Amino acid sequence: EADIYQTPRYLVIGTGKKITLECSQTMGHDKMYWYQQDPGMELHLIHYSYGVNSTEKGDLSSESTVSRIRTEHFPLTLESARPSHTSQYLCASSEGQGDTGELFFGEGSRLTVL
Amino acid sequence: GQNIDQPTEMTATEGAIVQINCTYQTSGFNGLFWYQQHAGEAPTFLSYNVLDGLEEKGRFSSFLSRSKGYSYLLLKELQMKDSASYLCAVMDSNYQLIWGAGTKLIIKP
């Protein structure tokens, strides 16, 4: 069973608020990812990291930021939430050996912006 | 552009066999993954193919043809718990995963 945790699981906030979605893994994985997924749609990569102090932007990164100060922790911050940010956010990690490791996903954070 | 195509929804009967197809067009290829995602839950890894051929893992098998840009996931002896979405994802030349929208599989008694 994967040891990757996300909080909060559910969040309802107002427009303009700053929020941080937390993600932690205890597997010692170097690679971590944030995905956004709407119902019935494909996963879209927001940010990823290949290790401490390494962060890269994905397809949907322009309105959010991430940090990777510790191997196990990869928080995602929305500076000013908008209704268009309403979605499910999935954090994932994989081992650093090669680039073809399977992804282990957290249970997701479902965000609703009013 | 890059894209992954898979059927939106399929229906099958408990105890039967179902094949879920996936075709892809990507810039480069470094492997194809299948994930299972139950409603409201996170995806979980099912299989990985990087060479042509069939990989069997219990009731589930995955096939790859790189020349055709084609894969399928074969589920045998279907159980009600197999009702889920099945996601196909391809790793491109930059080692980025390109995801399909998923196939929702409905199992009927």
Q: Is residue A72's pLDDT more than 70?
A: yes
Cα of A42 to nearest chain B Cα, Å: 4
* pLDDT (tens digit per residue) in A15-57: 999 999 999 999 999 999 999 999 888 899 999 999 999 999 9
pLDDT given at position B67: 96
Subunit contact B101:A42, Cβ cutoff 8 A: yes
What band does A98 get if pLDDT is binned at 50, 70 and 90?
low
The residues of chain B scoring below 70 in pLDDT are none
What would the pLDDT profile of B87-100 be if each residue is shown by its tens digit? 999 998 888 889 99
Each as own residue / partner, the long-range contacts of residues A72-76 (CB below 8 Å, 24 or more positions apart, any chain) are A72/A24, A72/A25, A72/A26, A72/A28, A73/A22, A73/A23, A73/A24, A74/A23, A74/A24, A74/A25, A74/A32, A74/A34, A74/A49, A75/A20, A75/A21, A75/A22, A75/A23, A76/A20, A76/A21, A76/A23, A76/A34, A76/A46, A76/A47
Beta bridge partners, B33, equal B48, B89
Closest residue in B to A38 (Cα–Cα): B101
Identity of the residue in B31, B42, B95 whose CB atom sits nearest the CB atom of A106:
B42
Are the Cβ atoms of A40 and B101 closer than 8 angstroms?
Answer: yes
Minimal-distance CA residue of chain B relative to A106: B42
- At B1 the pLDDT is 76
The pLDDT assigned to A102 comes to 87
